[in-house]
Amino acid sequence: MRDVRVAAAQFEGRDGDKVYNLGRIRELTREAAGRGAEMVCFHECSISNYSFVQPFTLAEMLDLAEEVPTGPSTLALLEIAREFGVAVLAGLFEREAGRVYNTCVAVGPEGVLARHRKLHVFINRHLTPGEAYTRFDYAGCPCGILICYDNNLPENVRATTLLGAELIFMPHVTGGVASTMPGRGTISPDLWANRLRDPIRLRQELDGPKARAWLHRWLPARAWENGVYAVFANQIGLDHGEVRPGGSMVLDPFGEVLAECRELGDEVTVAFCPAEKITLSSGKRYLRSRRPDLYTPLTAPPAEPPVTEPGWAVKYGG
């Protein structure tokens, strides 16, 4: 890897309004590029929005989804990347052969760089999980992509690192959801509506265990234990009647936050990521210390088929 500046963005999306959402992606990319970023990451399904598809039928999902790389949204991302001379990562629902995937597309000025299909899907019963890890190179930087719940399993980040990724993009839509964990839960939409008049109470919610404090229990560990840069992008604002907390950030291989969105609204943050931190990181030493001969239990087939269960109720409808 070489020294590089990367950006993590957040914005309040609109359900199914791809034109609006792509407009926000374009403007935030413009800002990131103007501040020297060479790569900018947006949140999970940032092109279409995400949570509102819970009750969708397969026909509705297929109608919302697009082909990759030939669909109009991917082509629009390519135009944005070429206009500002940067790599852009953004999410959408992808369709292929009658199946629908939760996909993050990475594009650069020269074309499509990579496509990652989420490995652990659950928001809609008609989604098909991906079956491969994703690693790609951009301008001398070995990169990987994992979407939201993919990052909750340490094995996925470790496997992506072992493929050679040193900069892992982690688009999310998370935080502010019902949970059995102490202190977790939803955030009142009234606090979001009143954020300009009374920002303190909303900030207290966003900084507490419903959002930032929860993320800081595990997200820095993913960067630290693998010796990688982690680019976390999250939605902010109203999302299917709930408040998403944003907090997009870039973490270094020591698990330290280099840059973080703190606005109660649309924002992009840019971080300088020096290459030498990877070499000096504890995670690099841990990778060399591995004993794969002892890891048979990690790859043994489970007694029951794997199931992805979020910590909150998915409302699929009838």
Structural domain for 183, as ranges: 4-299
0.95 exceeded by pTM: yes
Q: What does 159-171 look like in DSSP terms, one character per residue? A: HHHHTT-SEEEEE
Residue 317 placed within a domain: no
**Phi and psi torsions of 84, nearest 5°:** -110, 0
Number of structural domains the chain divides into:
1
Contacting residues for 63 by C-beta, under 8 A, at least 6 apart: none
Residue 313 placed within a domain: no
Torsion of CA 242, 248, 251, 255, to 10 degrees: -20
**Phi and psi torsions of 58, nearest 5°:** -60, -40
The residue type found at 200 is: I
Residue 139 placed within a domain: yes
**Exposure of 180 by Cβ count < 10 A (0-12 exposed, 13-18 middle, 19+ buried)?**
exposed
Task: Please count the other Cβ atoms lying within 10 Å of the Cβ belonging to residue 286.
Answer: 14
Residue 305 placed within a domain: no
SS3 255: coil
Tell me which H or E stretch contains 251: strand 249-251
What pLDDT was estimated at residue 314? 81
What separation in angstroms does the CA of 278 have from each of 22, 56, 97, 139, 153?
Answer: 33, 43, 40, 17, 22
DSSP 318: -
What pLDDT was estimated at residue 280? 97
What pLDDT was estimated at residue 121? 97
Bridge partners, residue 9, by sequence: 268
What pLDDT was estimated at residue 309? 86
Matching residue, tokens 């992805």: 308
Residue 312 placed within a domain: no
Residue 204 placed within a domain: yes
- Residue 148's CATH number: 3.60.110.10
Residue 314 placed within a domain: no
What pLDDT was estimated at residue 318? 41
b/e sequence 128-137, b meaning 16+ C-beta within 10 Å: bebeebbbbe
DSSP 127: B
In this prediction, the residues of the chain whose per-residue pLDDT falls under 70 are 316-318
Q: What distance in Å separates the CA atoms of residue 101 and residue 218, rounded to the nearest whole number?
A: 26
List, for residues 289-310, the tens digit of each pLDDT value. Answer: 999 999 999 999 988 888 998 8
SS3 193: helix
The residue type found at 77 is: L
Residue 308 placed within a domain: no
Q: What does 33-80 look like in DSSP terms, one character per residue? A: HHTT-SEEE--TTTTT-SGGGTT--HHHHHHH-B-TTTSHHHHHHHHH
Name the CA radius of gyration of the chain, rounded.
Answer: 19
Give the tokens for residue 169. Answer: 């993009």
